[in-house]
Structure 1
Amino acid sequence: MTIRLDRRHFLMGSSALIAAGAAGLRPAFAQGNNLRLIFWGGQDRADRTYKVADLYAEGGGAQIDGEFLAWNDYWTKLATQVAGGNAPNIIQMDYRYIVEYATRGAIRPLDQFVGGPLQLGDFDQDQLEGGKVGGQLFGISLGANSVAVLVNETAFEEVGVAPPNRDSTYDDYMAMGEAFNSANIRGGIKAISDGSYTEPMLDNWLRQQGLSLYTADGQLGFGEEEMVEWFRMWQGLREAGVCVSAEDQALDTGAMESTMVIMGKSATMPSNSNQLVAYQSLSQDSLTITNYPRIEPGAGGGHYRKPSMFFSVGGDEANAQAAAEFISFFVNDPDAAQVLGVERGIPCSAAVREGLAPTLDEKSQIALNFVANLGDLLGPLPPPPPPKAGEIDASVLRVIGQEVAFGARSPEDGGKAFVTEATALLTGA
């Protein structure tokens, strides 16, 4: 079941969440004995999720009523439901939002269920820690992943140049882009999509310089100089025709089907390791993944193993234990693991991972091996983003990034404006 909302500004969803926090958790509308699940993703993820829900119900568990949306629509819908006292029982949660939802009382701590309804005995410790806020467990990681570049291998073969690899730099992408422009295949497909307002790509670029998107105390970990440099770099790629035009990039609404690689606008784009399987299901070309570009030869440390997403518990307290039982089944059951594969990331249970690995198809093996072999690219997991991080991503970085891309702002003005507006949100000024 897919439910979509009209396009709304992120701030509407944020305001709804604030209202929910003021009132605390409120009972969900009556759903009998069924549990409600909400998640973001494409059709492939939905098919896998609903099949696992069916397995659970067939084994005597609760019936799961699910809905899924594209990323851009998801957070507004979720915040509106929470504010209206209609929070789903099981909520797919992201690392950048978990602090905000936990601190506002919109999701429940799960510690009381661990060792009972919720079995996590052989879970990776770093994945457990990633789901904690203030020392309490608010999210169960559904898989470990890392940011990655999605690569259309077939397009690179048509151009006659090697696709990017783990040593490729931003300068190398400039050279690849020039080769694509000269070949002029597929109506002028570009080498890379516009990543200038993609938060994980900015974060990775900063981490390679020893900086961070946010500090442990919830402030910006960089300044105006870096933000201006970031926008200038992408302006150079845009002006050289290496990355897609602002007009083409604006076609990406957040749904996988509207992304630049799937639409045939670019041969690479920022993605996540766990998304390779789903993207391959949408393309007849051969796709693979590699790491984000290095800022210079030998630079590393920008990547980290993060919880790809969590399941958190919302809704009424009476169904909290039942929700925890379903989550435990989702992350531990061997048959569920066979259905889910690595579409949401590498399983966090050692036993599940060991049983699943030999059965994976080629693309799933690529995703698993990528996360397991980051080498010098790997750095430490950053602290959870501050409560305003989601708002900064959606209503500051994306808006200003688009304004720079369309020429409404210069990189200098955009960099200054971003730091000013983000700082104001973080400090409450």
Structure 2
Amino acid sequence: MAAGAVGLRPVLAQDGRIRLLFWGGQDRADRTYGVSDLFESQTGAAVDGEFLGWGDYWTKLGTQTAGGNAPDVMQMDYRYIVEYATRGAIAPLDEFVGEVLELADFDADQIEGGRVNDQLYGISLGANSVAMLNNLSAFEQVGIDPPDRNTTYADWREMGEAFNSSDIGMKALSDGSGVEPMLDNWLRQQGLMLYTADGELGFGEDEAVEWFRMWQELREADIIVSAEQQALDTGGGLEATMVVQKLSASMPSNSNQLVAYQSLMEDDLSISSYPRIEPGSGGGHYRKPSMFFSVAGSSSAKETAARFVNFFVNDVEAAEILGVERGIPCAEHVREALAPQLDEKSRIALEFVANLDDLLGPLPPPPPPAAGEIDSSLLRTISQEIAFGARSPEDGGRAFVEGARDILSRASS
């Protein structure tokens, strides 16, 4: 790999610098910049990187893309890839496969996850799954077992009561009512889905009301954090989340984020599956691309950008820097080389994704182009209004379904 990279040096140097934009915290940034430096040392092509928190990232990327100043390489999420691909904001990469992009031993499902209308627009940076992030030290202090793969929503109520009876000063659980992946998982366990393959809602008003009512009951029972506390987490970074703030012992997260969260806390952290709706229910989880790298449709250095993406996902030395912070590597040769070197938390993340068993269901179709607005604006706003008492769960459920259908209709017209 290194020898091949050196041979490319004159070609890459002609392209000068490429820009990279990604979301994440400082730990991810340190790892990413380490790989960028390695890429530059081996190829001569410099990478100017910048990172932001999740919420700020999409605002900046949208502004730069609209202004014709998109970064050459950008992190892309499964819920937004259709939107960016269909409007030409990211480029199809099929012309580079087999040449610049080596995907011969890449997981087939991870390749398919990056396709839109049979063209490849995103290269998966790792496989992951949704997970509950758990503060094991807090559960030990309260004197109860932490959640595991068999934990149900009813069990969470019992755990919450145990926390309330202790003097630990935190709730058992954060407020998940405005967390789209948690709603998606809850629906999938009932044989429903968030969005259908043709871009419509895969559930109705009854389910939306039931969802908000369940969280309202947990809120009224004082099992989850208060509305005021949850509102502190604006999506700007991991530091503001309920577990890091020690306001709750558990919260919805992703398997690949365990490493980053542990770097922020002295308490011992781990992950478990999302709650089952009842004992024995499953199928809510799926292995998804944690995120992609995509190349801007407006980039004047697409080949160099594609070479950087290839280096990021295929070079073993790069993988040793990255670990599994972005998910389980998708290339078999990278997984085999990396597995013996993983630290404890990285091994936990790898084993979690590899052993979902009956919890695992199929990868859902890519969300429709308007899914991002439904998640970041509508769902979060309505869940917060219910939490603060401005709406009832019944009113909120109706408003959510009506609003989501209206957004989808406008986006398709």
Deviations 1:60-119 (A, max 9, x none): 241000000000111010000001110100010000000000000000000000011111
- SS at 2:251's partner residue? strand
> 1:181-225 deviations in whole A, cap 9, x for unaligned?
00031xx20000000000000000000000000001100000000
RMSD after superposition:
1.0
Could you tell me how far apart the structure 1 residues matched to 2:167 and 2:276 are?
A: 26
| Count of aligned residue pairs for this structure pair | 397
Kindly state the Cα deviation for residue 315 of structure 1 after the two structures are TM-superposed. Answer: 5.5
Distance 1:137 1:345 in 2: 20
Amino-acid identity (%): 71
Deviation at 1:244, TM superposition (A): 0.3
Structure 2 CA distance, aligned partners of 1:414 and 1:318? 46
Aligned to 1:70: 53
Contact 2:88 2:297 in 1 (8 A): no
Matching residue within 112, 137, 140 for 2:95: 112
Tell me, in whole angstroms, the C-alpha distance in 2 between the residues paired with 1:52 and 1:394: 31
Partner of 1:274: 256
* 2:258 maps to amino acid: L
Distance apart, 1:395 and its partner CA: 1.2
Residues 13-33 of structure 1 deviation map (CA, whole Å, 9 limit, x = unaligned): xxxxxxxxxxxxxxxxxx971
Partners of 2:25 and 2:107 lie apart in 1 by: 27
2:43 is paired with a residue whose SS is: coil
1:424 equivalent in alignment to 2:406: yes
Alpha-carbon distance in structure 1 between the residues aligned to 2:396 and 2:157:
23
- Residue among 282, 293, 312 paired with 2:294: 312
* Cα distance in 2, alignment partners of residues 47 and 230 from structure 1: 39
- Counterpart of 1:4? none
The equivalent residue for 1:129 is 112
Q: Deviations over 1:383-415 (max 9, x none)?
A: 000000001001110111110111100000000
- Asked whether the 8 Å contact 1:86–1:315 carries over to 2, the reply is no
> What SS does the corresponding residue of 1:267 show, helix, strand or coil?
strand
1:16 — aligned with what? none
Report the AA paired with residue 413 of structure 1: D
Give distance in 2, aligned partners of 1:232 and 1:317.
47
- Give yes or no for the alignment of 1:324 onto 2:306: yes
Name the counterpart of 1:169. Answer: 152
Which amino acid in the other structure matches residue 227 of structure 2? A
* Selected match of 2:162 from 159, 179, 184: 179
**1:61–1:326 Cα contact (<8 Å) kept:** no
1: CA distance, partners of 2:342 / 2:90: 33
Q: Is the counterpart of residue 193 in structure 1 residue 184 in structure 2? A: no
Decide which of 325, 338, 345 is 1:343's aligned counterpart. Answer: 325
Contact 1:152 1:287 in 2 (8 A): yes
The aligned counterpart of 1:41 is 24
Matches of 1:125 and 1:140, distance apart in 2:
11
Q: Corresponding residue for 1:247?
A: 228
Identify unmatched segments of 5+ residues in structure 2.
1-13
Secondary structure of the residue that 1:157 maps to in structure 2? Answer: helix
Amino acid at match of 2:182: M
Is the 1:88–1:315 Cα contact (8 Å) retained in structure 2?
A: no
Equivalent in the alignment of 2:373: 391
1:91 equivalent among 50, 74, 77: 74
Pick from 278, 281, 297 the counterpart of residue 299 of structure 1. 281
Task: Calculate the TM-score normalised by the size of structure 2.
Answer: 0.95
Cα separation, 2, equivalents of 1:326 and 1:161: 47
Is this contact kept in 1: 2:68–2:298, CA < 8 A?
no
User: Does 1:407 find its partner at 2:389?
Assistant: yes
CA distance in 2, matches of 1:237, 1:137: 43
Give the counterpart of 2:345 among 363, 366, 378: 363
Structure-1 separation of matches of 2:239 and 2:405: 34
Equivalents in 1 of 2:292, 2:233: separation in Å?
Answer: 24
Deviation at 1:316, TM superposition (A): 3.8
Q: Give the equivalent residue in structure 1 for 2:40.
A: 57
Is the partner of 2:223 in helix, strand or coil? coil
2:208 aligns with 227
Q: Which residue in 2 is equivalent to 1:6?
A: none
| Gap runs ≥5 in structure 1 | 1-30
SS in 2 for 1:82: helix
Q: Distance in 2 between matches of 1:131 and 1:318?
A: 22
- Deviation track 1:359-387 (CA, whole Å, cap 9, x = no partner) reads 00000000000000000000000000000
Quick check: 1:294–1:300 contact (8 Å CA) kept in 2?
A: yes
Aligned residue for 2:128? 145
Structure 2: distance between partners of 1:316 and 1:362: 41
Matched-pair contact (CA < 8 Å) for 1:155–1:267 = yes
- Partner amino acid, structure 2, of 1:362: E
8 A contact 1:228–1:415 mirrored in 2: yes
Alignment partner of 1:258 out of 211, 222, 240: 240
- Separation (CA, whole Å) in 1 of partners of 2:152 and 2:171: 17
Correspondent of 2:84 among 101, 108, 122: 101
Kindly provide the CA deviation profile for residues 241-268 of structure 1, in whole angstroms up to 9, marking residues without a partner as x. 1110000000002110000000000000
1-structure distance, mates of 2:131, 2:173: 13
Q: Does structure 1 conserve the Cα–Cα contact (< 8 Å) formed by 2:71 and 2:299? A: no
Distance 1:374-1:79 versus aligned 2 partners, 3 A rule: same
1:349 partner amino acid = A
